[in-house]
Amino acid sequence: MTLLLVDRLSKRFGSLVAIDEVSLAVEPGELRAIIGPNGAGKTTFFNLVSGLFPPSSGSVRFEGEEITNLTVEERVRRGMARTFQITEVFPELTVADNLRVAVELARGYGLSPWIGRAARRKIGTEIDELLATGDLAGKRHVLVGALSHGDQRAVEIMMALALKPRLLMLDEPTAGMGDQETYDIVRLVRRLHRRQGFTIMLIEHDMRVVFNLADKIMVLAEGRVLAEGTPKEIAANEAVQAAYLGETAR
């Protein structure tokens, strides 16, 4: 069954049409990239799908069920997790405690006024696994606010991962990063996709990253779908080249 089915989704802010009848289908196991020039509406599209604000029209279905008007929390419970272009973490908590919050919530302990030894041990194991996956094992007791930008991003992705999402949404995971950090994040995303089988939808600016990672690419321009296809098809698409690649290809 199609995991995420977006049907003619639109968002208007006053007279501005930020998203104009965008449709999209993401299959389980897929890695889908969304690209487009600045102001194309990529992040707005993410915000609509993840429930940050409601669409003006159109619908979103997740695992066959209509979720267009559900709250963020309800979408999270159904298996959507996302990161943000500007990293959203808990800066004054340690790396381990950032992950602990996420793991405890995922396991349904969010309201527990105490926690047993056995449960704590299981949660500890899961935190260790996440630390290893995110290459953060040596930094578990460091306050997240003191980490490098790349490591903060890794913490954010690991928190999203702690929810064991059916769909992982990454908004420009390599934004503002140097070459080494970009490389590390790309490697991490590829591992999550290829080896752990996560379904991932990501927004990306860096073309090398996109053509390297994606199974399928959707190109947005001025709120509309300009093209959709495999990296090869997109690279050969003249409309895309004119609107986007022509000016920013490196």
Partner 1 sequence: MSLVRARGLDVLIAAALLSMPFWMAAIGGYTELATRVLVMGLAAMSLNFLLGFTGVLSFGHAAYFGLGAYGAAMAIKYLEAGTIPAIAFGVAAATVAAAIIGALIVRRRGVYFAMVTIAFGQVFYFLAFRWNSVTGGDDGLTGWHRQPLDLGFATLDIFRNDKAFYYFVLVVFALCVAAMAQLIASPFGRTLLAIRENERRARFLGVPIENRIWLSFVISCFFVSAAGALYALLNNFTDPRALRFDLSGNLVIMAVMGGMRSFWGPLIGAGIFVALQDYVSSHTQNWMSVIGLVFVLVVRFFPRGVLGALRRGRPA
List contacts with partner 1 (CB under 8 A): 50, 72-73, 76-77, 81-82, 84, 88-94, 97, 100-102, 104-106, 109-115, 143, 156, 159-160, 163
Query: What is the nearest approach in angstroms of partner 1 to the Cβ of residue 194?
Result: 25
CB of 212 to partner 1, least distance (A): 27
Nearer to partner 1, 1 or 114 (CB): 114
Pick the closer one to partner 1 by CB: 57 or 112. Answer: 112
Dihedral of the alpha carbons of 101, 53, 86, 196, in degrees to the nearest 10: 60
Q: Which of 72, 87, 85 is nearest to 43 (CA)?
A: 85
Hey, what are 12's tokens? 């208007």
CB 218 within 8 A of CB 33: yes
User: How far apart, in whole angstroms, are the C-alpha atoms of residue 63 and residue 120?
Assistant: 32
Q: 192-218: buried (b, 16+ CB within 10 Å) or exposed (e) per residue?
A: bbeeeebbbbbbbbbbebbbebbebbb
Kindly tell me which of 19 and 106 has the beta carbon lying closer to partner 1: 106
Closest CB to partner 1 among residues 165, 223: 165
For residue 88, the minimal CB distance to partner 1 (Å) is 4
User: Least distance to partner 1 from the beta carbon of 114, Å?
Assistant: 5
